[in-house]
Structure 1
């Protein structure tokens, strides 16, 4: 049987109710503070789309008003830095998890509006790899602001150089993912043609209009097609990816720009 001291309305019961209410308010306020905190490199929600984006990477450090660092997977050693007016991305994956592909690079802080025709231009330097096996240097356009690998998202467009085993050759790949379905737009004959070719410091141009995609390398057209993308604005990623158990490998990006196209 409850004692009279425990009945509702007794001063002791009221004090307990007040303490419980104060604890609940304090916990809720603390939780709200935690939810509002965000890392400087975290994807920023609701960023307005921009019409252009340019970076010659000629500063002393990466411009955090333009770019967010992205990383997916484990590395023995990694670096994303500016060197000689270029973006330098390096990864050493010796002894890392063999089940994962590692991604490292930058994502634009703001999405780019592709509703009007745009020209994306960028130099990619394959850096004379002695062994480019399972190495890629990629440009992605993806509507999601991923903190890791845009490859895992349901929609994107990419151009990349992919190493061809076992030496320094590579091949170009143009692909898109639409609602989770992969579309290979250009593979340079892979997998039937497995020799690849020597890749140096190449100038890549990606012209994207509503119903047309044209990709060129040093003025040579690689592909022209209608990719039927499921998005009209997207974040731009400049990435290196590597499988596990490879010593340090480095690729470079420079002279990056997105401007209006005719």
Structure 2
């Protein structure tokens, strides 16, 4: 886990996002330091996915600021986000169903031209997900849900992210597959990739990360270490089924 001397990779201040007249995000602050695993938990409709989409430029904020590696994201063209090391594994996976597994993975490296390193990273992904190596020629749309999630994570890894954003990686998956996915995420994090995780399984998320934020109705209501949030009575009652 990082300490207070570790550089801040992402800094969000006063972020607001509105759809029409509805304020989906209502002025939130977030900080993520280099090397941290951070969870954003909350009920459906709390504004978590909107927050992630705003961080990667898919949605424009109505107020507030986002700084990534010290640079104001308002000044960065959206198409440069991936090459700067910002990658999203979206809710619902977002794979290219008519491309093969390997073609999907190589799409993650579309802004790179270091062929030898791309080939090495592809083998690294296959090492993390041996199932994908077995099915590298198979159309991604014919894979199981768990395998498709592996493709989505592998594709993001191929971009060599500094900050990996994951939106509901366990959604719709069998428990044994969820455990496997989270093992891989811990392994990726141990190699120095910073992560912001939105996850419906709050207990699993908080047992995986260093710190967490709780989001309710577009606001951050709790921010603390994962250990403290797991012990917090209000968090337990609302999100941990206790």
**Category of TM-score, reference length = shorter chain:** under 0.3
Name whichever structure is richer in strand by fraction: 1
TM-score, normalization: structure 2?
0.26
Q: Return the structure number with greater helix share.
A: 2
* TM-score (norm: length of structure 1): 0.24
